[in-house]
Structures are given as C-alpha cells and as structure tokens.
Amino acid sequence: MRYTEEHEWLRIEGDVVVVGITEHAAQQLGDVVFVELPEIEATVAKGDEVCVIESVKAASDILAPVDGEIVEVNEALAVTPGLVNEDPQGEAWFFKMKLDDLSVLDDFMTEDEYMDFLA
C-alpha cells in the first residue's frame, strides 16, 4: 500500500488502484453520515475532487491521487457511510482507478514513511 499527504491509501490490485482514506483521517472526521461517490467511467486528473464525505464535524473532499479512469465505486458507502469509521482501510474503500502507468505510485509514501509523516 501507498499513502498520500492527504491521508488517502492506495492499494494495487493487478492493473487497478483501490483508493480509500486512512484510519487517521477517519478519526479526524468523526462519525461519517454521507458519502458522495464518483461516476464510473469518469476520467479524472490528479487533484480533481472525486468524492465528498460529510461527517458530524465537517465535509471533506477526496481528491484523485493520480490521473486515471474510475472503474468501480463502493456502493456500500452510499447505503452505510459509517463503514468509513468502522473499517477505513478495508471494506470502506471509495473507488477503483485504472491507470496508464502504475509506476507513478512509487512517488507516494510507504507505510513506514506515512507513520513518520503522522509523527
């Protein structure tokens, strides 16, 4: 897995990257009450707003960590947004992206580097 400074995690599954938020981010948000997911087949550029998360504390955007195409979204979050708090780095993934070049993920932090970043 790789991590961004915006507290997103990226997990490689074949030629697809699964994107979610870290446990740290979920704790900072508080109880999540709504998740707006992106459109499947949408082409996004790094830094584009892809999802909106609303919690009891605030609304936050999930940004595209890389350029690519949204190929799948986690519909379970639309029905049960609280999954983000229960299992942020597992069942509560947000979307899957197809990338032209997976090597761009080398630019992101490893788990150890992310832990150092949090400290």
Any idea which fold 2-101 has? OB fold (Dihydrolipoamide Acetyltransferase, E2P) (2.40.50)
In this structure, the dihedral spanned by the alpha carbons of residues 30, 28, 113 and 111, taken in order and rounded to 10 degrees, is: 0
Q: What is the pLDDT of residue 7?
A: 95
Task: Name the pTM for this structure.
Answer: 0.93
- Phi, psi at 18, each rounded to 5°: -95, 135
Would you state the pLDDT for residue 2? 96
Per-10-residue mean pLDDT of the chain, 119 residues long, equals 95 94 94 96 95 92 94 96 95 94 92 96
Task: Give residue 74's pLDDT.
Answer: 97
Cα–Cα distance for residue pair 45/65, rounded to 1 Å: 8
**For the chain, which residues make up each domain, given as ranges?**
2-101
